[in-house]
Amino acid sequence: MTEIWEGWCRLMRKLVYTNSRNESIDLTKYVIVSDAASLFSRSWNSETSQNKLIGFSKKVATYSITLDVIGKDSTEKANHILNVLEKDVIFQKSGTLKCDDWYLKGYFVKSSTGNYVKFSNRITLKLTFTSDLNYWIKESLYIYRKNDEQTSDRGLGYAYDFPYDYLSPISSAILTNSNFMDSPFIMTIYGAVVNPKVIIGGHVYEVETTLDSNEYLIINAYDKTITKVKKNGERVNEFALRNKESYIFQKIAPGDNTVIINPLCNVDVVVMSERGEPEWT
């Protein structure tokens, strides 16, 4: 068992599950993960016409994870794990499985138990996680500020711990998408500003709205939403105010992209890199 555990640690730094009620379990700290190799796999459906390949579509993904719960409190731990996992199915809201810096939303839909004898101090849980999403996602945060005095505001407006932070003054702003394909994004624009416009790689992202001080606008290209958050926390749908001549949810191209912000305001951009399976680390 020790050899399996050491091999897993070399393979992966962290495996965390957070359910839809924001309850988290760090599986690599909480128990021994003896088998999660299926996370590093993928499968596509091939589409054919007249005996020729014409495209591919992603299958509903299913992953198997085996946990060894060990200790005098193994039954208590196992009950806690299963309670956290089952709530998503009961409430029909997906949770988030995070593998190192990559995450996938879905459900733990099956569990079976082995190696369980009362008072044995060991329970083996064999779990099945499923998702209908096409890609694992890694989020990278890029921060752009009007002047050097504000460059200490790293991570302004975010409650998450992003794996990579890039901070640039607007006078020399570059956004580097390290993924090999176009990536969706979440852009946050902070007031006070009138008709905020951001140009990334020559593409215009603009909303004809007014943001007062302490208000901000979220353009979510993944969920296809545009939301203004007012001083009192009220959220307003601003989709109708988008610049309709330039597609507001255009994905960000791979490589270096020049960033122009007009009028000047503070902006955060989260680039959501997508892969069929998590990167090996």
Same domain, 147 and 103: no
Please give the pLDDT value at position 59: 65
From residue 205, alpha-carbon distances to 143, 153, 185, 253 in Å are 16, 23, 12, 14
Q: Of 115, 136, 157, which closes a domain?
A: 136
Q: Tally DSSP H helices, then E strands, for the chain.
A: 3, 22
pLDDT in tens, the chain (281 residues): 444 444 444 445 688 999 999 999 988 776 766 555 566 566 656 666 767 766 656 667 888 888 888 888 888 888 999 999 999 999 999 999 998 899 999 999 988 776 665 656 788 888 899 998 878 999 999 999 886 434 334 344 443 444 444 556 565 589 999 999 999 999 999 999 999 999 999 999 999 999 999 999 999 999 999 999 999 999 999 999 999 999 999 999 999 999 999 887 899 999 999 988 777 76
Name the residue range of residue 102's domain: 2-136
266-275 and 185-190 beta bridge pairing: antiparallel
Last residue of one domain, picked from the residues 136, 160, 189: 136
Q: What is the pLDDT of residue 8?
A: 44
Same domain, yes or no: 166 and 50: no
| 281 within domain boundaries | no
DSSP-assigned letters across all residues of 190-208: ESSEES-EEEETTEEEEB-
- Same domain membership, residue 130 and residue 151: no
Strands annotated E in 13-118: 15-18, 24-26, 32-35, 44-49, 52-58, 61-70, 95-99, 102-114
pTM: 0.77
Q: Determine contact, residues 281/9, Cβ cutoff 8 Å.
A: no
Q: 230 in a domain, yes or no? A: yes
Residues 93 and 197 both lie in one domain: no
Residues 28 and 95 in one domain: yes
Residue 269 pLDDT: 96
- Domain count within the chain: 2
**Domain end (from 120, 136, 152):** 136
